[in-house]
Amino acid sequence: MTEPLRLGPLDAGEVLTLQRAAYVPEARAHRSFELPPLLETLEQARAALADPACLAWGVRENGRLVASVRISVDGETAEVGRLVVAPDRQGHGLGGALLLAAERLLPLQVRLLRLFTGEHSAGALRLYPRLGYHETRRTPEQHYQLVHFEKSR
C-alpha cells in the first residue's frame, strides 16, 4: 500500500459512498440498518472531515477511494472510527495497512487508541488483536453488543 492520503470535506461524498457500501454487510450481520455510519448525512460527513480534531486518511487505487479511516484526537487519546474498505477489496490487507499507517501519522502526544466494533463483525474481531488492540469491555447496543478495544502507543 502507498502512503495514505489525507481526506477532507471535499472527499465527503466519496467517503460516505464507500462507508455505506462497507457497512451494509455489517448491518445484515447485526440485523440492524440503524448503524450510525449508514445514517450519517453528507452534511454530517463534511462537518466531521472539516473538524480539526478529526484526522482522516484514505487509500486510492486508480483514482478510486477504496479504504478510509477517521481518527478523532483528544489530548493523549485517539478514537478510531469508520475504518472501511470497499467490499470488492476486503480481505487483501488494506484495512490493517491503512490503520497502522494512520497510527504512525498521529500526533506524538497520542498515547492511547480506542475503537469498537459489533460482536458479529468477524473480520474486525480478527483484525484488531492482530494489530495489537486488546478487548476491554462489551456494552449492549440494541440486540447485540459492542466490543471495545484499546491499544497503547
Handedness of CA 32, 122, 87, 40 (dihedral sign): positive
Q: Which residues contact residue 78 at a Cβ distance below 8 angstroms, ignoring those fewer than 6 apart?
A: 71, 72, 106, 110, 112, 113, 114
Q: Is residue 39 part of a domain?
A: yes
12-29 and 42-50 helices, crossing angle to 10°: 110
Assign residue 98 the CATH number of its domain. 3.40.630.30
The Cα-based distances of 82 to 11, 62, 72, 109, 120 in angstroms read 14, 22, 11, 22, 16
**36 inside domain:** yes
Residue of 132, 11, 138 lying closest to 82 (CA atoms)? 11
Domain for residue 133, yes or no? no
Residue 34 has pLDDT above 90, yes or no: no
Q: How many domains does the chain have?
A: 1
- The answer to whether residue 124 is domain-embedded is no
Q: Note down the domain range covering 93.
A: 5-114
- Could you tell me if residue 136 is inside a domain? no
Q: In which band, very low, low, confident or very high, does the pLDDT at 36 lie, cut at 50, 70 and 90?
A: confident
* 125 is a domain residue: no
- Which residue from 53, 17, 20 is spatially nearest to 37, judged by alpha carbons? 20
Express each pLDDT in 76-134 by its tens digit: 999 999 999 999 999 999 999 999 999 999 999 999 999 999 999 999 999 999 999 99
User: Which H/E stretch holds residue 15?
Assistant: helix 12-29
Q: With cut-offs at 50, 70 and 90, classify the pLDDT of residue 2.
A: confident
